[in-house]
Amino acid sequence: MNNSIPQEEFVGLSDAEAAARLASDGYNELPSSSRRNLFILAFGVVREPMFLLLVACGAVYLVLGDLYEALMLLGFVFFVMALTLYQERKTEHALEVLKDLSSPRASVIRDRAQRRIAGREVVKGDLLVVGEGDRVPADAQLLSALNLMVDESLLTGESVPVRKSDEESAAVDVRPGGDDLPFLWSGTLVVQGQGIARVTAIGNGTELGKIGKVIKGVAQEETRLEKETGRWVQNLAIVGISLCIVVILFYSFTHRGEWLEGVLAGITLAMATLPEELPVVLTIFLAMGAWRISKKQVLTRRMPAIETLGSATVLCVDKTGTLTMNRMTVDALIAGEKRIDITSSEEQEMPEDFHELVEFSILASQLDPFDPMEKAIRLIGDRYLKESEHLHGDWNLVHEYPLSRELLSLSRVWKSEGREKYIIAAKGAPEAVMDLCHLDALTIQQLSLRINELADTGLRVLGVARAYFVHSELPEKQHDFVFEFLGLIGLADPVRPTVPAAIAECYAAGIRVVMITGDYPGTATTIARQIGLKEPEMVLTGSELEGMAETELQERIGSVNIFARVVPEQKLRLVKALQMHGEIVAMTGDGVNDAPALKAANIGIAMGGRGSDVARESASMVLLDDDFSSIVEAIRLGRRIFDNIRKAIAYIFAIHVPIAGMLLLPVLFQWPLLFLPAHIAFLELIIDPACSIVFEGEQEERDVMTRTPRRADEPLFSRSMIAAGVMQGVVVLGVVMGIFWFFHNRGAGIAEVRTLTFTTLMIANLCLILTNRSWSTTIRASLFFPNSALIPVIAGAMLFLGIVLYVPFFVTLFRFSAIRFTDLLLCLAAGFGSVLWFELLKLTGVFRSGRYSRQ
């Protein structure tokens, strides 16, 4: 006979009432972050000063009637714009794939009839019908329940399902968590039984919605990379615009009647001086980093977070679903005086003494279980009893006695063909099962020691019993059977196999790991020992945290690594306390209860597989495969990115000095103007992809995961880095000016001088890329380091240089002239010689600080 809840007595709302409430209260959904459309993304690209200057130059050329120059400059604008838009849209689309394609369905009673509707159409007052496997669509109060158990780990962090009761209680705690509450919460999962409940809150009014309000109140600060880059862009932009104005005025004054040429000269100098590569290259650099890490199943929602993760000093980890698998496994069995520990080895055999224990634990479970504990029990049976007589697929289920508040055990009554007697299997809390068996005090005392033995190792303990019944009429209560106690089953939520090694690597990298969980201290301590967490005995509970002053918390926060029985508001408080302690905090989590802390952390890392939409929306990064070890790879990549960004910035400073110098000096000394906007645009077309692609593809240094995180106040634009970059640029400027003077004094025409000077600058540009790959290893040695982008970029740049030097159309467009092979060799020698001093300086070890060392 099947147990079910009679629905005839429930009427529910009418369609008209439901429509009216839907119109007044709105849909049952949480607002999500809006997706930026193509026009918003494009506007963010075109408002960059570099693009505006290129458009201005194009407009001037149109006024002068030079259509080819104008089209070339505008083509450069659209090329970089298209690249940026493609990467932005690719990242946003990847996030959209994570979200559900439609809202979950809900079963409701309306006009006495049960029907399925979209979860977003559930309204207050609706009668929900929930059963095993259903996701609860709204907060509701139970009217009727039968053996109902719900997984509330999204809200509480606890992996063990809780019992539900339809009994009213004036003193009931209305917060999620705990057994025998008559409430269901939106987003939780029914793992056993069935129930009917009246909806009390939808959308923002649910517990999910309340957490969402907390998330909105958490301001998300700019990363240090964004702030520092913004300051330098602003300051250098002021310098560039000022020089632009000075050049326009000076040129117009010294060359009367040529004000348009003065505007072109000024804008060209601004193009050479403005640090447009910093925002553009950093955007592409981090976007490519996001794409690269996405190949390892990590989605980056805020690209600067990758760099910030590399400087993280504390990693706050949620236990359930992050450190553990969020599924139960049988770890130990106790029958009589004997114990067996279950291992993953297939060769392990189960002694006969334990067969009946497993047999009756299966009989006390669902045939096709959904509950994690029953799934684990079924798995053990399939593994060890499959070919034995202890599995009974042909038995018939006759009756089920569900869990109740008075008796925390359930019994299932079976009957087999050809037998008159009933077979009863019971399982539940060990105390309840011992009570069913009417054990004597001494036996209970001995069993209690074994129960504590299992519980102390963090296991969830179940008792199992059996009974036989020969009468035709089954009794009303489980206590009326004569049960025999069979033994104990210890279940655990296993640690992810990759976690211990990942934790060890974090420690090697100088990163402190902190566990923040809603689970019990004993369980948290056990997990901490298994993963190798430092100081596993030092635990601070949520109740202790609640009454703790901020000063005391600041004293304890530096030494305690385990925080147990923590509620969402306290997770947020802990993250902020760590930040006040001077830490750069990375926070992982998958539940809705983690969302406020994920958003408040410097880097929030959500689980994409088991994680909630709210957690993913709040996080900076999403682990698509929920593999904790991917965090270590992200940290490695973050440190690599910071190193490589510094190399790229040094190169940017180095190449801009000679470009700006070769534009400014001819204006001031009234020499012939060599470089026009087309030349700068061509150089930028090489510089931007070259420095972003080559330096982004550079491999990490060998000490990247053995050095401590960089200081919180360590600048990206350090004085030594800027000084080295500028010095490289000054030397290159001197060499290029030398080529200019040599050929100018030899009587070469302006077109030939321009060609040779530009060629020398292009060769020096490529040499600057090579030398800045490493500040501790020479170009010759670094050529053996893998970088798949290096050869294509160098070859492409040389090909483009050959085209503009030898294809007549481009020779005319760039106002070049033919050059002799011997002069070309001189340009090659001068370009390489411009960085030779820096290569010799590397050999002295002056740059061997460990930051760029390959040793």
pLDDT tens-digit series, residues 422-433: 999 999 989 999
Closest CA to 377 of 479, 488, 216, 542: 488
Alpha helix positions (H), 480-567: 499-508, 521-531, 542-546, 550-556
Which amino acid is present at 786?
Answer: P
Angle, vertex CA 694, rays to CA 45 and CA 783, nearest 5: 170
Report whether pLDDT(100) > 50: no
Domain map (residue ranges) of the chain: 15-30+104-216, 42-89+221-297+633-843, 314-325+497-626, 329-492
Q: Quick one: pLDDT at residue 256? A: 55
Which amino acid is present at 427?
Answer: K
> Which tens digits make up the pLDDT trace of 109-145?
998 888 888 888 899 999 999 987 788 889 999 998 8
Report whether pLDDT(472) > 90: no
> Which tens digits make up the pLDDT trace of 648-695?
888 888 888 898 888 778 777 777 778 777 777 777 767 766 676 788
Report whether pLDDT(749) > 80: yes
Start-to-end CA span in the chain (Å): 74
| Distance between CA atoms of residues 574 and 515, nearest Å | 11
Architecture of domain 329-492: 3-Layer(aba) Sandwich (3.40)
DSSP label at 129?
Answer: E
3-state class (DSSP) for residue 92: helix
Instruction: List the beta strands (DSSP E) in 750-804.
Output: none
Q: Quick one: pLDDT at residue 729? A: 92
> Which tens digits make up the pLDDT trace of 274-330?
656 666 666 666 667 777 777 667 777 776 677 677 788 999 987 776 788 777 889
Q: Quick one: pLDDT at residue 413? A: 94
Q: pLDDT-derived band of residue 853, with 50, 70 and 90 as boundaries?
A: very low
Q: Quick one: pLDDT at residue 728? A: 93
Tokens of 224: 């240090």
User: What secondary structure, in 3-state letters, does 274-305 show?
Assistant: CCCHHHHHHHHHHHHHHHHHHCCCEEECCCHH
In this prediction, residues 814-822 reach a mean pLDDT of: 88
Bridge-based pairing of strands 113-118 and 189-201 is unpaired
Alpha helix positions (H), 538-628: 542-546, 550-556, 568-580, 595-600, 613-618
| Distance between CA atoms of residues 677 and 255, nearest Å | 19
In this prediction, residues 13-23 reach a mean pLDDT of: 91
Helices (H) and strands (E) in the chain, counts: 30, 22
Q: Quick one: pLDDT at residue 676? A: 74
Burial class, 330, CB count within 10 angstroms (exposed 0-12 / middle 13-18 / buried 19+): buried
| Distance between CA atoms of residues 854 and 103, nearest Å | 52
Report whether pLDDT(98) > 50: no
Report whether pLDDT(95) > 50: no
Which amino acid is present at 747?
Answer: G
Q: Quick one: pLDDT at residue 585? A: 92
Report whether pLDDT(784) > 90: no
Please report, for residues 240, 389, 419, 732, the alpha-carbon distance to residue 236 in angstroms, rounded to integers and kept in the order given: 6, 82, 92, 21
| Distance between CA atoms of residues 839 and 112, nearest Å | 85
Report whether pLDDT(487) > 90: yes
Length of the chain: 855
Q: Quick one: pLDDT at residue 273? A: 64
On whether the 42-89+221-297+633-843 domain is CATH 1.20.1110.10, my answer is yes
3-state class (DSSP) for residue 110: strand
Rounding to the nearest 10 degrees, give the CA dihedral for residues 286, 288, 294, 298. -10
Report whether pLDDT(83) > 60: no
Phi, psi dihedral angles at 201 (to 5 degrees)? -155, 145
Most confidently predicted of 29-38, 247-256, 803-812: 803-812
Q: pLDDT-derived band of residue 849, with 50, 70 and 90 as boundaries?
A: very low
Report whether pLDDT(827) > 90: yes
Closest CA to 331 of 529, 123, 490: 490
Most confidently predicted of 31-40, 268-277, 838-847: 838-847
Please report, for residues 40, 404, 582, 628, 638, the alpha-carbon distance to residue 632 in angstroms, rounded to integers and kept in the order given: 34, 45, 22, 8, 10
Which range, of 344-348, 503-507, 790-794, averages the lowest pLDDT? 344-348
Q: 198 with 601: CB under 8 angstroms?
A: no
Report whether pLDDT(725) > 60: yes
In this prediction, residues 72-89 reach a mean pLDDT of: 60
| Distance between CA atoms of residues 656 and 272, nearest Å | 6
Q: Quick one: pLDDT at residue 1? A: 42
Provide the percentage of residues in the chain whose pLDDT is more than 70: 76
Report whether pLDDT(446) > 80: yes
Closest CA to 636 of 723, 515, 511, 742: 511
Q: Quick one: pLDDT at residue 458? A: 77
User: What's the mean per-residue pLDDT of the chain?
Assistant: 79
Q: 306 with 713: CB under 8 angstroms?
A: no
Report whether pLDDT(499) > 70: yes
Closest CA to 262 of 246, 278, 277, 283: 246
Higher-pLDDT residue of 335 and 571 is 335
Convert 332-349 to b/e letters by CB count within 10 Å (16 or more is b). Answer: bbbbeeebbebeeeeeee
Tokens of 206: 């649910």
Burial class, 445, CB count within 10 angstroms (exposed 0-12 / middle 13-18 / buried 19+): exposed
Angle between helices 629-668 and 719-745 (to 10 degrees): 40
Closest CA to 847 of 736, 766, 691, 727: 727
Report whether pLDDT(94) > 60: no
Q: Quick one: pLDDT at residue 102? A: 33
In this prediction, residues 811-831 reach a mean pLDDT of: 90
In this prediction, residues 817-837 reach a mean pLDDT of: 91
3-state class (DSSP) for residue 370: coil
Higher-pLDDT residue of 529 and 251 is 529
Report whether pLDDT(34) > 80: no
Closest CA to 580 of 544, 559, 555, 605: 555
Q: pLDDT-derived band of residue 268, with 50, 70 and 90 as boundaries?
A: low
DSSP label at 68?
Answer: H
Matching CATH number, 15-30+104-216, of 2.60.40.1250, 2.40.10.220, 2.70.150.10, 3.30.420.40: 2.70.150.10
Domain 314-325+497-626 falls in which CATH fold? Rossmann fold (3.40.50)
Report whether pLDDT(612) > 90: no
Convert 366-405 to b/e letters by CB count within 10 Å (16 or more is b). Answer: beebbbbbbbbbbebbeebbeeeebbeeeeeeeebbbbbe
Which range, of 190-194, 218-222, 798-802, averages the lowest pLDDT? 218-222
